[in-house]
Amino acid sequence: MDTKKLRQKILDLAIRGKLVPQDPNDEPASVLLERIKAEKGRLIKERKIKKSKKSVKTSDTPHYPYLLPNRWCLSTLGEVFTLQAGKNITAKDIKDTTTELHPYKCYGGNGVRGFVASYNREGDFSIIGRQGALCGNINIAKGKFYATEHAVVVERYCDVDLMWAYYTLTALNLNQYATATAQPGLSVAVINDVCIPIPPQKEQERISKEIEHWFALIDQIEQGKADLQTIIKQAKAKILDLAIHGKLVPQDPNDEPAIELLKRINPDFIPCDNGHYTQLPEGWAVCRLEQITNYEQPTAYIVNSTTYDDSYSTPVLTAGKSFIIGYTNETAGIYSNLPCIIFDDFTTDSKKVNFPFKVKSSAMKILKIHTDIEVDYVAMFMSITKLVGGTHKRYWISEYSKLEIPIPPKAEQKRIVYTVREIFTQLNEIMESL
């Protein structure tokens, strides 16, 4: 279920008058709009508010090809509300956390920026972010707060419902009216001209309550989805933990003991003490990672005239979670001695790779696993075994390779890999269905 699209669909139904039934006893929206115009006119005359600025060129506004319900009418943001940006405040006056001396929220272009010592607005308002990557985002501000020049305060009149205004502004997707520059921005004059369908005031209240009802259910779905994703991740980690401790698949007494294959790798092999892996099954042995692997320091791929393009065939790998940073068509430096494990010195993240690649970061190492050891089994071990240290500590592969790894017989390695794949396939299907 795409809950983001579901929320948008509910908002779309709301602004079309299809979310709640109409009541013929409601005061028509045209009457409400006349009262708003009268109220704004009085305040302008008393110089308490300024007349809304209109853009030189009418903005691209929705034409609303669908029919509005009876008692609804079409207006503009500038006619229904008063939109006014706040005032500038220096960054040094904004604190990251609230204190006794800085108790008021400060709203900027992307929502709450921090906390300040004074306020310039008081009441309940929708806030439109007008500057920055998230311009057009809508927030709710209540009580005393400070609005910067990048936050547009939406003033309501004649008991226009606060939450209806908030949801409708959200549904309008005001970001589409932003200037296409390096620092996107919204002109108040432009969004004043954006069309808005107005329901009767009583229907506004019914709409906002209905939206809140559905959004509360969606919140539960999203929380359930997040909880299930967490459970799946925990289940995968537990499965791998059971696997490397010999508790995932049954042992076969006919399997060749692991010490025999380790002696084939190195005739002078002496098993490590089982101190870290007590009660391992019969036939298992413990060795250091460096005793079954070789590692290489690849040449980092330097981007020059060639740019990344998804149409190219060779992936370029980088340290960190992104893994594949892009694709190149250059052939020099491609690593194709596969499969192998990529290791990141900084995060100790590792991934099995079975396709030709290049590397971007010098922090990455290539590990080749001895042919008598299943590379997938070693990858499982490395995926749940991390070194813990101070911030920004770099773990050289030579240090990481001192870690001890429990080794099952060759045949059991294969059974473990097969079983983990089977279980993970099912868990991945559940995760993808979310």
What does the pLDDT read at residue 32?
96
Q: What is the pLDDT of residues 290-301, one digit of tens each?
A: 999 988 888 777
Q: For residue 217, is pLDDT > 90?
A: yes
Question: Could you give the CA distance from residue 299 to residue 361 in angstroms, rounded to a whole number?
Answer: 9
Question: Could you give the CA distance from residue 35 to residue 155 in angstroms, rounded to a whole number?
Answer: 15
Q: What is the pLDDT of residues 27-71, one digit of tens each?
A: 999 999 999 999 999 999 998 888 876 655 544 445 565 688 999
What backbone torsions phi and psi does residue 383 show, to the nearest 5 degrees?
Answer: -70, -25
Residue type, 35: R
Q: For residue 395, is pLDDT > 80?
A: no
112-116 average pLDDT score:
95
Q: If DSSP codes are grouped into helix, strand and coil, which group holds residue 244?
A: helix
Which range (50-54, 109-113, 393-397) has the least confidence? 393-397
What does the pLDDT read at residue 55?
54
Most confident of 104-108, 322-326, 379-383: 104-108
All domains of the chain in start order, with CATH: 24-202 (3.90.220.20), 235-414 (3.90.220.20)
Local confidence band at 387 (pLDDT 50, 70, 90 cut-offs) = low
Q: How many other CB atoms are there within 10 angstroms of residue 387's CB atom?
A: 12
Q: For residue 168, is pLDDT > 90?
A: yes
Q: For residue 349, is pLDDT > 60?
A: yes
Mean pLDDT, the chain, rounded, equals: 88
What does the pLDDT read at residue 264?
93
Of 16 and 331, more confident? 16
Q: For residue 246, is pLDDT > 80?
A: yes
Identify whether 339 is preceded by a cis peptide bond (ω within 30 of 0). Answer: yes
Which of these, 247, 233, 255, lies nearest to 419 by C-alpha position? Answer: 247
Question: Could you give the CA distance from residue 32 to residue 81 in angstroms, rounded to a whole number?
Answer: 12
Q: What is the pLDDT of residues 173-196, one digit of tens each?
A: 999 999 877 778 899 999 999 999
Q: For residue 361, is pLDDT > 60?
A: yes
Local confidence band at 394 (pLDDT 50, 70, 90 cut-offs) = low
Of 211 and 365, more confident? 211
261-277 average pLDDT score:
85
Q: Give me the percent of the chain exceeding a pLDDT of 70.
A: 91
Local confidence band at 119 (pLDDT 50, 70, 90 cut-offs) = very high
Which of these, 349, 321, 417, lies nearest to 378 by C-alpha position? Answer: 417
What does the pLDDT read at residue 20?
96
Question: Could you give the CA distance from residue 314 to residue 293 in angstroms, rounded to a whole number?
Answer: 25
Question: Could you give the CA distance from residue 317 to residue 167 in angstroms, rounded to a whole number?
Answer: 42
Question: Could you give the CA distance from residue 214 to residue 310 in angstroms, rounded to a whole number?
Answer: 40
**Token code pair at residue 364:** 């990455």
Local confidence band at 359 (pLDDT 50, 70, 90 cut-offs) = confident
346-363 average pLDDT score:
84
What does the pLDDT read at residue 305?
46
Reported pTM: 0.71
What CA–CA distances, in Å, run from 191 to 16, 76, 128, 160?
Answer: 20, 9, 10, 19
